[in-house]
Chains A and B, each alone.
Chain A
Amino acid sequence: AQSVAQPEDQVNVAEGNPLTVKCTYSVSGNPYLFWYVQYPNRGLQFLLKYITGDNLVKGSYGFEAEFNKSQTSFHLKKPSALVSDSALYFCAVRAGSTNAGKSTFGDGTTLTVKP
């Protein structure tokens, strides 16, 4: 079984400050990890993924995430937040060995960036 935890329902930051959205996971085998963003009344958009290689991955819109195997974490980060980053963020995991392609999503974290 695989699972994802996003411990914070809400993250509030001031524009220009760094932001972190936390994610921890549990999966058998090698994890394939993803971050998605959802704007109101829209589907999810892919931000970045970790498959293998460097633990720090860079993605769209200046976001990056750090894979930490020992802590089973994959926190999303951005050095300087923008008001337009305000949205709902989902972390997802998929076991590398599965052929079903089924991802497990966290409950989501609402990010609010205030001017």
Chain B
Amino acid sequence: GAVVSQHPSRVICKSGTSVKIECRSLDFQATTMFWYRQFPKQSLMLMATSNEGSKATYEQGVEKDKFLINHASLTLSTLTVTSAHPEDSSFYICSASPFRVDSPLHFGNGTRLTVT
């Protein structure tokens, strides 16, 4: 149980275009989802906390208008990288929590974004 599906796994886009990444909890309701960015051989950088039915909470230094997050249902959150540039190339990972503080996080398999 506790499966999180993330799509696409890889995406290549041209500079200036937008890319949408989906994160779905398949067998549980996720009131909270988290979006991370991971650079090579580095830890996870939390970008934002996505709460169902309300605005996302962004971490300091993360541009809200650049990384749009929508959590319209208890099973789906999306991250849209708007007007992507090569420096946005990275590995993006989502995780979901069934909102029990003792529950582990359940992670998607990540999305490798390459902006050319």
In the complex, chain B residues whose CB is within 8 Å of the CB of A51: 102
Interface residues on A, range: 20 to 34
Which of B39-47, B64-72, B74-82 faces chain A? B39-47
Interface residues on B, range: 20 to 34
Let me know if B16 is at the binding interface, CB within 8 A: no
B101 and A43: CB pair below 8 A?
Answer: no
* Dominant secondary structure of chain B at its interface with chain A: strand
Count of A-B residue pairs with CB < 8 Å: 59
User: A99 contacts which of B46, B93, B101 (Cβ < 8 Å)?
Assistant: B101
A-B CB contact pairs (8 Å), 21 listed: A32-B101, A32-B102, A34-B104, A34-B105, A41-B91, A41-B110, A43-B93, A43-B95, A43-B107, A44-B95, A45-B107, A46-B106, A49-B102, A90-B44, A100-B32, A101-B32, A101-B97, A102-B49, A105-B44, A107-B43, A108-B42
